[in-house]
Copies of this chain bind each other. A is one copy, B any other.
Amino acid sequence: MIDLRSDTVTKPTQEMREASFHAEVGDDVYGEDPTVQLLEEKAAKMLEKEAALFVTSGVQGNQIAVLTHTNPGNEVILEEESHLFYYEGAAISAFAGVQPRTVKGNRGAMHPADVEAAIRPEDVHLPETGLVVLENTHNRAGGAVIPLETMRATYDVANRHGIPVHLDGARLFNAVAATGISAKEYAQCTDTVQICLSKGLGAPVGSIIAGSQEFINHARKWRKRLGGGLRQVGVVAAPAMIALTDMSKRLHEDHELAKEIEEGIKEAGFELAYPVETNIVIMDVAKTDMNAEQMVEKLEEAGIKAVPFGPTLVRFVTHFDITKQDIKILKKVFKSMKNAL
């Protein structure tokens, strides 16, 4: 099977397994795991933040950010199909007691003026706006890159109103690979950042959140409450380090393969929901006689795994375990499916 469901399916490389095998470890709840400390320092440096913290997943990193930045009864502004709103089980309301205020973006990018319009004035009837969240690249917008200028303008708006900004950068390094703009530059436009190491970067487990030292101090306690305080965490921090430092450099390869898929879809006469920007391809089957579920089934029969992404949308994600040969096969599958219609 050629597995294009998500870049989360990547398996740890041989090098990662070796790094884990030899990792120096200690009890991180006592602050004594040297491997995770190196990882956190490296991540803080790459993102030019005062401090960073290893967490077990992107969801955990995002939830910690919301718990740390906000108070119950606050409102959080985020894009209407952002991961934090759409895919995290309403956890920001269940745990942090905050209400999402969604803003429709243009390919995932909220217009700074729309963000500003969504900020609440002080009034006894209204929640206080406590946080703005950006997602870059934006998953449900098809891996779209949020332009740096948009991020900066949004950050300016938020700063003017004294509201912190968090970046869900689960796939930030895909934006970096696509634009050549460094992670630091993106991170300068937000107070805190979460990056996933287990998606395109291929680590078996883990994400990072970064921000001010004070933010990380509070974050550490919320991580403990969420059950993310681990013991000999070096065994997963070691492969995560390779993900962060080496794998982040090869994401352009995934993007090239995604472009190939885009071409294959067009050539076969199928349609795209959006032009491809990074490693995510969204096909729209609205004009065929299949819905998304049926298309995914058909693909499965042909040895291709993808996921339904809406009634007529199908998502393909390229990653380290996908080869050029795999994509050639996929293209043939598209053609023969089209012919069979």
A25 within 8 A of B: yes
> In the bound complex, do residue B9 and residue A30 qualify as a contact, i.e. CB atoms below 8 Å apart?
yes
Give Cα A27 to B203, complex, Å: 11
Residue from A63, A231, A235, A236 having most chain B Cβ neighbours under 10 A? A231
Q: A73-B90, A97-B94, A221-B124 are in contact. Are A60 and B228 (CB under 8 A)?
A: yes
Give Cα A224 to B60, complex, Å: 9
- B20, B29, B30, B127: which contacts A235 (Cβ < 8 A)? B20
Point out the residues of chain B lying under 8 angstroms from A226, CB to CB: 59-60, 63, 91, 226-228
In the assembled complex, 18 residue pairs joining A and B whose CB atoms fall closer than 8 Å, in A order, are A6-B27, A9-B26, A11-B232, A20-B21, A29-B124, A55-B227, A60-B226, A63-B227, A72-B96, A73-B89, A73-B90, A89-B221, A92-B99, A125-B224, A205-B232, A205-B235, A205-B236, A226-B226
Known: A9-B26, A9-B231, A198-B232. 5 other contacts (CB 8 A): A56-B227, A91-B226, A95-B225, A235-B236, A236-B236
Residues of A whose CB lies within 8 Å of any CB of B are: 5-6, 8-12, 17-18, 20-21, 25-27, 29-30, 32, 55-61, 63-64, 67, 71-75, 85, 87-100, 102, 124-127, 198, 204-205, 220-222, 224-236, 239
